[in-house]
Amino acid sequence: MGRRYQAPRFQVLTAANSSLSPNGQFTEVGASDKVVFETTIASTVIGKFLVEYSNERGDVPSAWRELVFSTDLTANGASDTEYTIVIENKFKFLRLSFLDNGGSGLINAWVSAQGVGA
C-alpha cells in the first residue's frame, strides 16, 4: 500500500512590497509529488509571479532557474486578488518570486506540498 502525506502550509511571502520585486523564502520539496503556492495580493499590484527551482546539493541553494510555463503567471489585483499555482514536482528546492510591472502593494504567499506515495 502506498504512502500519502501532506506537508503543512508555510508562509513564504509576508506583506512583501510588490514594487521591490521580492523573492520568497525557498522550500525544500524534493520528497513531494505536488507543490501548491497560494497567494493574495493587494488590488493595486501589477506584475507576474515566477516559480524558480534549484537542484543543487546542500541545504542552501545559491543559483535559481525560472520554470517556463506555456503562459506568463501574470497578476493584476484590479481583476483578481487570489492566485493558486500547482506544480507537479521533480525539483529539490522551489521558491516563488514576483516581478513588478508598475503597480505597488502587498503580497502574501503560502506553500504546501503533497506526496501521493508509491
Mean pLDDT of 2-21: 86
Number of folded domains that form the chain: 1
Tell me: pLDDT of 2 over 50: yes
What CATH number is given to the structural domain containing 93? 2.60.120.340
> How far, in Å, are 18, 71, 73 from residue 14 at the CA level?
11, 26, 19
User: pLDDT tens digits for 70-82?
Assistant: 999 999 999 999 9
CA neighbor of 12 nearest in space, from 33, 34, 28, 30: 28
Percent of the chain with pLDDT over 90: 75
Q: Which phi and psi angles does 95 have, rounded to 5°?
A: -145, 155
Instruction: Determine the structural domain holding residue 74 and report its residue range.
Output: 5-57+66-115
- Rounded to an integer, the average pLDDT of 82-100 is 95
Exposure pattern of 43-72 as b/e (b: 16+ CB <10 Å)?
Answer: eebbbebbbbbbeeeeeebeebeeeeeeee
Instruction: Give tens-digit pLDDT for 20-50.
Output: 999 999 999 888 899 999 999 999 999 999 9
Output the pTM of the full model: 0.89
| Rounded distance between C-alpha atoms, residue 69 and residue 85, angstroms | 11
